[in-house]
Structure 1
């Protein structure tokens, strides 16, 4: 499910609806649900107007490939993920020289815990997390500059936990919460 506002009565956008349709189709293609279950789920998703209705339409689906690790690597250049994209349970980001920008604020986050391993040489990294996310940077080792992260004061523990680990050489990591 995408990282939407905490309120179950919050309206949903077309990007969220499209991600939910894709998730149902994938579950059907993998044989996890029957044709009738997919039809019923599609009807629920296409008529849903709130986050709560969308969550309920996807509640019975099995978890997706919870054990796989995805790697994004570049020697020099930019790594950027933003908008609606599916965040894997384990994400490894490798960059020798360059900038990294991961925006999870509108991403499809289907796991309660996301592990992001950073292996960065030089350059700067910015990670934007959902407004209600809990961030853990205890396992991140920095060589030159400390990471910049201020936990939200009034954060409710209702969102995903984002654990960031790995090593950073000469660069800085900035973590910020989305505004909405």
Structure 2
């Protein structure tokens, strides 16, 4: 989060209230937490009092959807903390090997009816695919399953009734 100025303007307060309300609307806060944070934001007298209200908001989920096309991310891209991908017939390819990943752990949720997904991890990363359910599809994970100290860990969950998932580290 960007540092706020020491003086609290009405606009700063309004922006804090907006962010808290948005987090609630997206399901990232429960009603009690919404009320608590709004009370704190509305009674804050300095920008420093807003920092704990906003700084620890639960992560936003980035959602990608496709019906029959491809969802591809590769090269130098910013990986969100939580990624949700839905596709009816399309294919998904996520190459994390050159991506900017500021988190030690990321969560990827897949909802792929008939398509398949390939996730390429950077060298030394690990992945857990135990949360993936399939009926007629297949899940293959060639990466380490347990988190490694200092390495990226990717938690993958979701449903692929007729789809395939392949997870592996890049070859370097």
TM-score by length of 2: 0.64
Q: Deviations over 1:96-115 (max 9, x none)?
A: 11110000111111111100
Partners of 1:175 and 1:32 in 2: CA distance: 41
Could you tell me which residue of structure 2 aligns to residue 177 of structure 1? 169
- Deviation per CA, 1:135-180: give whole Å up to 9, x if none: 0111110121220112349x95421110000100211111110123
Equivalent-residue separation in structure 2 for 1:121 and 1:100 (angstroms): 12
Q: Could you say which residue in structure 1 is the equivalent of 2:67?
A: 75
Name stretches of at least 5 consecutive residues in structure 2 with no aligned partner. Answer: 6-54
Moved more, 144-153 or 91-100: 144-153
Matching residue of 1:149? 141
4+ aligned runs moved over 6 Å, structure 1: none
The structural deviation recorded for 1:122 is 0.7
Which residue pairs with 2:122 in the alignment?
130
- Give 2:3's match in structure 1, choosing from 20, 27, 31: 31
- Write the deviation string for residues 10-50 of structure 1: whole angstroms up to 9, x where unpaired: xxxxxxxxxxxxxxxxx6xx3369xxxxxxxxxxxxxxxxx
Query: For the Cα contact (< 8 Å) 1:133–1:158, is it kept in 2?
Result: no
Query: Structure 1, unaligned stretches of length 5 or more?
Result: 1-26, 34-62
Q: Within 5 Å, which residues of 2 pair with 1:78-89? A: 78-89=70-81
Task: Name the structure, 1 or 2, with higher relative contact order (CA <8 Å, separation 6+).
Answer: 1
CA displacement, residues 51-75 of structure 1 (integer Å, 9 cap, x when unaligned): xxxxxxxxxxxx8976111001011
1:114 to 106, 113, 135: 106
SS at match of 1:98: coil
- TM-score (norm. length: structure 1): 0.61
1:13 alignment partner in structure 2: none
> How many residue pairs align between the two structures?
123
2:33 is matched with none
